[in-house]
Structure 1
Amino acid sequence: MSIGEFKNDKARERFHAVYGRLLDQLWTGPRETFDLPTSFGTTRVYRAGPPSPDPVVLLSGANGNSLMWHRYIAPLARRRTVIAVDTVGEPGASAQSAPLTGAEDGARWLEEVLAGMEATAAHLVGCSYGGWLALGHQIHRPGRTAALTLLEPAGFADPGRRFYTWLIAGGLAGLAPRAWRPWLSRRVGNSAILETELMELGRASIGFRRALPPARVFSDEELRRVRAPSLFLLGERSTLHDARQVADRVGALVPAAEVEIVPGAGHALPTDDPELVVARILRGAPA
């Protein structure tokens, strides 16, 4: 299996120019930057707040990076130390050097990141693919996770035509003139296209070849191994899975889990209802 990388130097330079500018523009508060060595490559991590064994750790969805969380950093950092991670193998400031072949490798990578940041009781917050990585870590490398908040996590259904149609429609809508996007956002059910800066970063990442393993569906036996207190936040109108079916399955298999289906929200839950998501994260990770 290959590694995620830019197709050429020009694509890499174009992306990093946009990434660096938007990082300074969107992350306006204090931050520390770390480049952690792992078995799968150097991982870029940003921290807001002092060193802490129990930080809130933010993991983005596929094709995303730390900037996905730019609206979350300030409200979370007022209460907790916050760590935002550029997942290795995604377009960001991390540099992958070895392939990840499955959930076990993802768990090993995340374990090494948490160890590098001396986090022994982390509150993992994962969106979509990041939620799959967080769950995989809890299943295969338990011990450093005190709690989980999972936003529309992958790993409960194979993406189907409905999801890919939603994804493509959102991508095309993101290319439209800014004045059209509010209407298009309602039409395609994707509030993320209203994030102008992230749409710009997404266009800059077109030259990136992603090579991470697909988010395979977790087995019943794996889900029964999730012991950390967990909050599953699901969009009522999700195109990735049937939220009610996921809620029923989690309720039957994960005793420490709470499930909330957010009315009117879809797979773009972090931009559909950021105030609710911030409140739920802080409820699960009290100061």
Structure 2
Amino acid sequence: MPVGEFRNDRARDRFLTVYDDLVARLWPSSSVDSDVVTSFGTTRVHRLGSGEQSPFVLLPGSGGPSLMWHAYVGRLAASRPVIAIDPVGEPGPSVQTRAIDNGDEWSLWLDEILTALDVSQAHLVGTSYGGWIALRHALRSPDAVASLTLLDPGGFGKVGPKFLAWVIACGLASFTPRPIRRALARPLRNLALRDDEAMPLVKATFGFRRKHILPTPLTDDELGRVMAPTLVLVGGHSQLYDAGEIAATVTARMPRAVAEVIPEASHDLVLWHPDELAARIVAFAADTPVRPDVV
């Protein structure tokens, strides 16, 4: 399988120009950024906050760089260290050199990053595709995961035509004139279409060829083996799943999981009331018992 990459140098430069501008305006200046070499390419990581507690590790959804967490990182970093990651194979400053063919390889990629950063255990926070990566890591490396907070995550069912049609419709809507785009946000149930600041970055992502596999659903047996304390938040209008079915599955199959449906949200859940969701993430991590051998 080929790797994800920009179509050409011009597309890369265009994206990174917009990315760097948004980082300067939206991302905390205290962030310490570095590149971590892994078996799958070089990964850009952003570290914020201080202290010796197990950090939050933020995993964005498909097509979204770490910048998608800009409304969260300040509140999260006030409670414990934060590591925000730009995944390989996605538009951003990371560079993929080897294909990732399955969930175990995604977990290996994440393990290599955290090992390089001397992180033995982390609170994983993921949305959409990033939520699936977090689940796969909890399966492969259970001792490395203090807790999981998953916002409308992948991994609980197949990605169907309804979701793919929504993604295409939202992509087309992003190129319409501003008044039309903002008006379409409601029927398409996507708050990103109202974000005038982020739209140039969204448009620039179309200069990237993404080659990742679709997230494979976890089996009932696999769900039962996820032992990390887990908070699953699902949009009531999620284009990915039937929210009620997923909440019931989580409750029945995952021994240490709590599921909650956010009625007004869809797959854009991460954009709904970031302050409130960040507070939920902080509180959930704080309630997680610390292993005696891990600080």
Under a length normalisation based on structure 1, what TM-score does the superposition of the two structures give?
Answer: 0.95
User: Does structure 2 retain, via aligned residues, the 8 Å contact 1:52–1:119?
Assistant: no
After superposition, give the CA deviation of every residue in 1:75-122 in whole Å (9 maximum; x if it has no partner).
Answer: 212222111100111111111111100001001001111112222221
Matches within 5 A, 1:219-230: 219-230=219-230
- In structure 1, the partner of 2:211 is 211
Q: Displacement, 1:252?
A: 1.4
Structure 2 CA distance, aligned partners of 1:213 and 1:163? 15
Letter in 1 for 2:104: E
After superposition, give the CA deviation of every residue in 1:108-162 in whole Å (9 maximum; x if it has no partner).
Answer: 0011111122222211000000000000000112221100000001111222222
1:38 has 2:38 as partner? yes
Letter in 1 for 2:186: R
1:248 has 2:241 as partner? no
Structure 1 CA distance, aligned partners of 2:161 and 2:212? 20
Letter in 1 for 2:160: G
Question: % of aligned pairs identical?
Answer: 45
- In structure 2, the partner of 1:67 is 67
Question: What CA RMSD, in Å, does the superposition of the two structures yield over aligned residues?
Answer: 1.5
Structure 2 CA distance, aligned partners of 1:243 and 1:171? 23
Structure 2 CA distance, aligned partners of 1:15 and 1:51? 34
**CA 1:129–1:158 in 2, change beyond 3 Å: closer, same or farther?**
same
Structure 1 CA distance, aligned partners of 2:50 and 2:275? 24
Matches within 5 A, 1:1-287: 1-50=1-50, 52=52, 54-286=54-286
Greater CA deviation, 44-53 or 4-13?
44-53
**CA 1:125–1:203 in 2, change beyond 3 Å: closer, same or farther?**
same
Runs of 4+ residues deviating >4 angstroms:
none
Structure 1 CA distance, aligned partners of 2:9 and 2:171? 24
User: Does structure 2 retain, via aligned residues, the 8 Å contact 1:108–1:141?
Assistant: no
Greater CA deviation, 100-109 or 43-52?
43-52
Q: Displacement, 1:51?
A: 6.2
Question: Number of aligned pairs?
Answer: 287
Letter in 2 for 1:172: L
User: Does structure 1 retain, via aligned residues, the 8 Å contact 2:51–2:80?
Assistant: no
Structure 2 CA distance, aligned partners of 1:279 and 1:50? 18
Where 2:206 maps in the other structure, the secondary structure is coil
Long gaps (5+) in structure 2:
288-295
Q: Displacement, 1:53?
A: 5.2
Letter in 2 for 1:39: S
Q: Displacement, 1:5?
A: 0.7
User: Does structure 1 retain, via aligned residues, the 8 Å contact 2:235–2:269?
Assistant: yes
Letter in 2 for 1:96: Q
Long gaps (5+) in structure 1:
none
Where 1:196 maps in the other structure, the secondary structure is coil
Structure 1 CA distance, aligned partners of 2:214 and 2:165? 18
Structure 2 CA distance, aligned partners of 1:173 and 1:52? 44
Where 1:64 maps in the other structure, the secondary structure is coil
Letter in 1 for 2:40: F
Q: Displacement, 1:28?
A: 3.5
User: Does structure 1 retain, via aligned residues, the 8 Å contact 2:50–2:80?
Assistant: no
Letter in 2 for 1:256: R
